[in-house]
Amino acid sequence: MSAASIIERLAAHLGLEEGSFESDAEAKDPWIRIAGDRLVAAAEFLKADPELDFDTLHCVSGVDWPGDDPPAIEVVYHLTSLSRKHWMVLKTRVPREGGSLPTLETVWKAANWHERETYDLFGVRFEGHSDLRRILLPADWPGHPLLRDWEWPETWHKIPVKPGRQMTERAEGGQMTGVGPFD
Amino acid sequence: MAEQRSPVDGAPLVTLYDEELPPDNSYAFSPEELEEDEMILNMGPQHPSTHGVLRVELKTDGEIVKDARPHIGYLHRNFEKHAENIDYQGVIPFTDRMDYVGSMGNSLAYALTVEKLLGIGVGERVAGIRVITAELQRIASHLLAMGTYGMDIGAFTPFLLCFQQRERILDLFEWLCGARLLYNYNWVGGVSHDLPEGWTDKCRRFLDEFVPVLDEVDKLLSHNKIFIRRTADIGIITPEMAKDYALSGPNLRGSGIDWDLRRDDPYLGYENYDFDIVVATSPHGPVGSCWDRYFVRVREMYESVRIVRQALDRLPAEGDVHENVPRFVRPLAGEAYCRSEAPRGELAFYIVAENKKPIPYRVKGRSPCFVAMGLFHEITRGEMIADIIAIIGSLDIVLGEIDR
């Protein structure tokens, strides 16, 4: 099924009118952006509809956009249909401060660990998640590192953790980092 | 500085700090919830069969595992954060260190994603070299999986035979790019070095000599009665479960699902090669067992040999491997998600780019081992403790990739 018809079908099911939602069927990875409160309905339809049949949730990623109005974290769901061989990207935005999303664990079990990772690194809360604990970082790690304005602590339990500035400074100064053929 | 004191008289080298300890939430099970005869047992983080630094928390009743929770993150370096401060090409060595026994596949997946973002392709010679190195890496990685899996179960000889052959692949890679483990070989738009003179002949000779050894190891291990009894009836992943948890690669095909990106979403011209997708046939037990996953890997090595032979035959003699390497990587604003079939499953990168910036805005690695570990608690419930080892080995995880 082509990306445009997938988007059309999903929008028709959710009752979204033309122009009331953002989508791009011509992008490298066609995507549709929907509101957080419609997320579960969309996911359930994408999985259950025999024409779409998105049977696997491939990946969940967070992207922080502090400069946007309003500041938001975008959560991106990459879906795959093994039976129909098509792909789709579902996007949704949560406010940076105190926002939360419903969990998709009830639709695809793969969401469990991906959502834990997004919570760990971005601080996005997933309502209804069965086990929302940090997964990669220690329980008392300060903050959520993949937020753009996160500050490195100097030490953590007396262990120095802040990386040297060298790499960053070179990159900010426009230098190549020494892996290309032109060094 | 907190006051220092010695906890034991006469043990001056031991000091404690009067500091608040972090809250101990490192346990998923609490002792209060245990029923009679139940016990919480830690397996790892240092354990020979965990293939890295993995801690599995077990709730046991005698020898039977009631429940299991993996705890990961011991190798977490957050290369995704580092990538926000490094230019596009500079991220490649970081990706090498994700799945450190399958580095070629990692840098290939990353390079493909950046090329998709830039909208550039590679020449035929580069594509051929990439296919050859990726498939050799798959063989090396599966040899490691096969050898250590035998050793986990108690068969030592296959391990030595597998490592001898893996060593020869590493020698080929060393000759090619100077490194034996972390290659930094796939660049955006090309590869770092062209094949040296005589490399293809040596590679052909390796393939010719490798296949009989693989036959022998296969005979030694795969159809060994003890090995089958240990593995063919445990760790069952049903096809529904495999889809629900988004497994990929040999783990998915081990559950009987016919899916391989090299055929279903081909890249690097894989559609032009003649090879079969190996799907588990389960002659010894229910579909999706540890033995099925193991045997998919064994048979995939034969298919990889076929692909490498074809790629060597049709490799164009001329061609500059740096031809399409961009002087500057400055993509337009946008994003790309590109998956590829790495040795352990579908490795994908998600890159978000700001307009004409040399540094990526966001890089996310989708690790197949991370996903496979998410279903670990489902397939270990009710198994024996000794079988946990067999199940971990059959998923073929690498902790560097899980923790990233």
Q: What is the ipTM of this complex?
A: 0.86
Band the pLDDT of B2: cuts 50, 70, 90.
Answer: very low
B11-22 tens-digit pLDDT: 555 555 545 555
User: Is A176–B265 a contact, with Cβ atoms under 8 angstroms apart?
Assistant: no
pLDDT of residue A75: 92
Please list every residue in chain A whose beta carbon sits closer than 8 Å to the beta carbon of residue B107.
none
Query: Is cis: bond before A66, omega within 30 of 0?
Result: no
Q: Percentage of chain B with pLDDT > 70?
A: 93
Q: What is the pLDDT of residue B49?
A: 67
Mutate to test the interface with A, among B362, B367, B373 (most CBs of A within 10 A): B362
Query: Which residue among A85, A133, A177 sits closest to B87, beta carbon to beta carbon?
Result: A177
Q: Domain B79-403: which topology?
A: Cytochrome-c3 Hydrogenase; chain B (1.10.645)
CA–CA gap between residue B244 and residue B247 (Å, rounded): 8
| Average pLDDT over every residue of B342-367 | 90
* Residue ranges per structural domain of chain B: 79-403
pLDDT of residue A35: 85
pLDDT at B138 over 90: yes
- Residue in chain B lying closest to A28 (CA): B336
Q: How far apart are CA B400 and CA B106, in angstroms?
A: 12
Instruction: Tell me which chain B residues have a C-beta less than 8 angstroms from the C-beta of A57.
Output: 246
Find, in chain A, the residue whose alpha carbon is nearest to that of B369. A113
Question: A92: which strand partners?
Answer: A75
Which residue of B lies nearest to A139 if distances are taken between CA atoms? Answer: B25
Q: How far is A148 from chain B (nearest CA, A)?
A: 9
Strand pairing report for A125-127 and A100-102: parallel
pLDDT > 50? residue B1: no
| Residue A137 touches chain B, beta carbons under 8 Å | yes
Q: Which of B23, B82, B190 sits opposite A139 (nearest CB)?
A: B23
Record the tokens describing residue B223, joined without a space: 């159809």
Instruction: Choose among A95, A86, A76: nearest CA to A32.
Output: A76
Q: Which amino acid is at B35?
A: E
What single DSSP character describes residue A80?
E
Sign of CA dihedral B223, B280, B129, B191: negative
Chain-chain contact of B87 with A163 (C-beta, under 8 angstroms) = no
CB B120 within 8 A of CB B282: no
A145: nearest CB among B73, B78, B85? B78
CB contact under 8 A, B92 and A179: yes
A100, A125 Cβ separation under 8 angstroms: yes
pLDDT over 60 at B343, yes or no: yes
Is the backbone of residue B71 left (phi > 0), alpha (psi -120 to 50) or beta?
Answer: beta
**CA–CA separation, B103 vs B96, rounded Å?**
5
| pLDDT tens, position by position, A69-119 | 888 999 999 999 988 888 889 999 998 888 889 999 899 999 999 999 999
Residue B100 pLDDT > 70, yes or no?
A: yes
Write out chain A residues lying below 8 Å of B80, CB-based. 121, 146
Q: What is the pLDDT of residues B143-188, one digit of tens each?
A: 999 988 888 888 888 889 999 999 999 999 999 988 888 888 998 8
Question: Which domains, from first to last, does chain A contain?
Answer: 3-147 (3.30.460.80)
Residue A58: list chain B partners with CB under 8 A.
246, 339, 346, 348, 366
CA–CA gap between residue B211 and residue B223 (Å, rounded):
17
Q: Does A180 touch chain B (CB under 8 A)?
A: yes
Tell me the C-alpha distance between A176 and B76, whole Å: 26
pLDDT of residue B313: 92
Beta-bridge mates of residue A23: A32
Q: For residue A110, list chain B residues with Cβ-Cβ distance below 8 A.
A: 244-246, 371, 374
CB B380 within 8 A of CB B68: yes
Torsion angle in degrees (nearest 10) through CA of B134, B139, B145, B151: -150
- Closest-CA distance, A170 to chain B, in angstroms, reads 8
Q: What's the pLDDT score for residue B352?
A: 92
Q: What is the DSSP letter of A77?
A: E
Longest dimension (CA), chain A: 56
Sort out which chain B residues have CB atoms less than 8 A from A174's CB and list them: 358
**Alpha-carbon B288 to chain mean position:** 19
How much is the pLDDT for A175? 61
Q: How confident is the model at residue B324 (pLDDT cuts 50, 70, 90)?
A: confident
A168 in contact with chain B, both atoms CB, cutoff 8 A: yes
Structure tokens at B302: 């034969």
CB-facing half-sphere around the CA of A74: CA atoms within 13 A: 20
Which residues, listed in sequence order, are joined to residue A86 by a DSSP beta bridge? A81
Pairing of strands A86-95, A31-33: parallel
Q: Which one, of B386, B199, B226, lies nearest residue B308 by Cα?
A: B199
- Choosing among A59, A74, A75, A122, which should be mutated to test the B contact, i.e. which has the most B CBs within 10 A? A59
Interface of A with B in 95-114 (CB under 8 A): 108-110, 112-113
Q: With an 8 Å Cβ cutoff, are A110 and B371 in contact?
A: yes
| Residues of chain A with confidence (pLDDT) below 50 | 180-183
Q: In sequence order, what DSSP letters do the residues of A4-57 get, joined into one string? A: HHHHHHHHHHHTPPTTSSEEESSSSS-EEE--GGGHHHHHHHHHH-TTT---EE
Residue of chain A with shortest Cα separation from B337: A29
